Chains A and B, each alone.
Chain A
Amino acid sequence: MLRVPVVGVLAAILAPIALADTLCDYRYGTYCCNSTVGLRLVMTYKSQWHSEKDYVAYRLRSDGFKTYDHFQPVSSQGANPYWSYTNSVDALRQTAQQRGGSSSASWEMWEWALGSCG
């Protein structure tokens, strides 16, 4: 009889951990020729509770080079939580992960952005 509440409580505690692992895009594909990648930076559950939230979005090549890294001061300075990135040059360009969400006190990346990758 007690199993149900115990399972419920465990689910409530573990749910933030599951949500925190949502990625926008982690394939090393290519975005081509003036394509735009939109990233809506959405607050998710925090893994740390001691600071305000701000966000980063970045593009990481498969060889490890970060070709774009953007910091968006959403909670600390009130910036808009949306950010988009357009390949304005007409060239294939290996991509990318885009992730968002880090605390200003730590760069530990437990919270990913939920967003469109179209």
Chain B
Amino acid sequence: MYLLRISFRNLFRRKGRTLIISSILALAVVFFLFMESLMIGLMDITFANITDFETPHVEIGRQEFFQEEEKGNILPLEENFIPDETILAVVEEREGFVAWTGVLDFSGEFIAGRHQYPVRVRAINPDTFPGVFKNEEYLVQGEFIAAGEPGIVIGKQLAEFFDLEVGDYYTLRFQDIDRSFNTMQGEVRGLISVPHPEMNLGTVFVARDQANAALGLDENKISRLMVRLEDRGLAPEQAGQLEEKIGGEALQVRSYREAAEFLVSLEAWGFIETYFILALFLVVGAIGIISAVVLAALERVKEIGMMKAMGLKEREIVGVFLLEAAGMGAVGGLLGCVLGGGIVFWLAEVGMRMEVLLDMEGLGVPMGDMIYGAWNPLSFILIFGFVVVVAVISSLFPSYWAARKDPVEALQYR
């Protein structure tokens, strides 16, 4: 108890020194909490935008279809399938299953006036599509797709690009199953504005019955069976189980993470970068602690000598210095958690404009204008503990150096 008391009071002996080292550690904590909140928030929003508007939690399709899509080639119409009852039953048995919908994606040219633009045409079943995706909720003008009715829904950005409004005419040009060029023409039914740039600009929605007829395909043929689960976290495991049950040479099952590998690697790099910068801060803090313990030991040589004369063992003297270093770590960690908590609160509640950080749209990341941080209480506990541990570890060597001083020399030290 006395060793703890001495260590605690020693913290205030050189207040300036304690404050400087604690501030460096606090800065590391603040930086980490801010970056981690930002990264989790950013990835949460990004993945939510993907699963809500583009790729669902789990999707099933032909391997060749996915391969051609990944290469950026024209989406192959022949790589379609009709999901049979067995597949649907297995899908519906999944833990956390919410809904499924079949989608036929194909490549086309969107033409309006004298301009044309390559797009992905997403042919949907309007009855089941809203159970999996939220695009309809983001309708800003007109109506959404209805079964048996012609017309398309496009993103607001594409509409602005072509200067189109609801009711304006369009032409979609594409190759049908026989590789003959065909077109669909009509009026724009509705405009959507979703926080996913790719869906606002490069995707056109049509009713599947209309599209399949124009493509010369059976009306039940789809390129992807898309599945929504209760929680995104369930997706990798459930996709794995589905792959075991129905996957094989013909069909492939992917979770949204496999479908968005670029984002997953971006997420990993983001965290690596965060940890790297955190490590740099902590190295500076550790050097500060080492020098503080060395200076403290030099200032207190006679005290160390006296403690040894009184019968205190070396490990108990080491304990005094370690506790003091842990105290510095705790002050820095606590200060950092309080300041970091404030910043994370601001980030989570108020949010920040994405353009302050970087051009996510230019990077092809599905993000809206604002980004919000995420609260992760475990991070506060972990970073606090980590800073204290770093402080203790970095003071180990100088503490032993101080405690091993010869008592006679220490007592005669001037």
Partners in one complex: no
